[in-house]
Chain A
């Protein structure tokens, strides 16, 4: 029987969503053109050449190494691309993904990337053509709600701030805006430099939809312990207690 990895415990909707994010089995909700994703990232002009840090691997003549023979390089590594980043800020008001789960998604599903989680933002670094691919996947999937999540290379405040009146996550640099037609438009790239044209990111999720797809446990949403007042906590909290107990008593040594 084929092995199926198990990712996260619990039977709450948040536990199920966390499993989905970690396994990479996420639903595709929209299709933002690749050129637009490249423009939002702001590292190179759409259609421009990739800058590189070394010649393509085939031209370099690699040493005879069994690991290099086993591991196939990513497209970016094979071409010698520069390392670039994409950084996300997800609102704690029921954004579909929260920083740790973007990182888990990246670490488990994306080859050759370096995810980093901070308190209110999440960054993934990888070779340029790889990170463009990973960023597009995040934009297009249910991991992103265009109102509650945005790409922010700098001035990232927003995760723990209240939402704006129109339901958008607060952004000091006003990189996204809500259009009169109800669509969210990206008007600046991730570091706040205005784009040549507005990019239509589509309609945001409704509040109910965001709560359905979120990976954040909240007392006013789905709490970590499961149903409030139930006789038994959800497995997610039991697992966390178990891990903390082991870690505190024995430094997480399984014996």
Chain B
């Protein structure tokens, strides 16, 4: 039996044709934010390590990957990934045309917008092991299960955060 959803929210994934520089990522995220209706948002892409992770040069700092600060909706945070995908949940269908227009304004190349289910709804074992009982279910699916806690940046008007204590 299929249970009808009691919410009209909509999950979408924006895949630009190229990886975004921090400047373009900032522009895109601000355009998305100004379109409104964003319940939650996640950026996804390959990791940008601060030091060489392995090999003969292990530990050598990578200056190019440092201080990639961007400011979205008045809050500054540091990018730790190359922005390749943006997944977000819109409050309703009415924000979709605006989202597409926002991407067209911000991205100088083509992109795809896919609808689907991109955030999980129940905590996984990894979520539980790392964060215990998560009170605000909106952060589910925003957490990379392999990421360290310092890789996590959550921006919200209501200050949704996760306690950063070590377990």
Contacts and interface: CB of A to CB of B under 8 A. Distances in A.
Interface of A: 42, 153-155, 157, 161-165, 170, 172-174, 177, 191-194
A162 B47 CA distance: 14
Given A173-B52, A191-B52, A193-B56, A157 B19 contact: no
Q: Which of A155, A157, A172, A174 has the most CB of B within 10 A?
A: A172
B19 A165 contact: yes
Given A154-B52, A155-B54, A163-B18, 20 more contacts: A153-B55, A153-B56, A154-B54, A154-B55, A154-B56, A154-B57, A163-B19, A164-B21, A165-B18, A170-B19, A170-B46, A172-B46, A172-B47, A173-B49, A192-B55, A192-B57, A192-B62, A193-B56, A193-B57, A194-B60
B18 to A, nearest CB: 5
B64 A174 contact: yes
Contacts of A163: 18-19
B52 to A, nearest CB: 5
A153 B56 CA distance: 9
A85 to B, nearest CB: 12
Closest 5 CB pairs of A and B: A154-B55, A174-B64, A193-B57, A192-B57, A191-B57
A94 B107 CA distance: 22
A86 to B, nearest CB: 14
Contacts of A161: 19, 46, 84
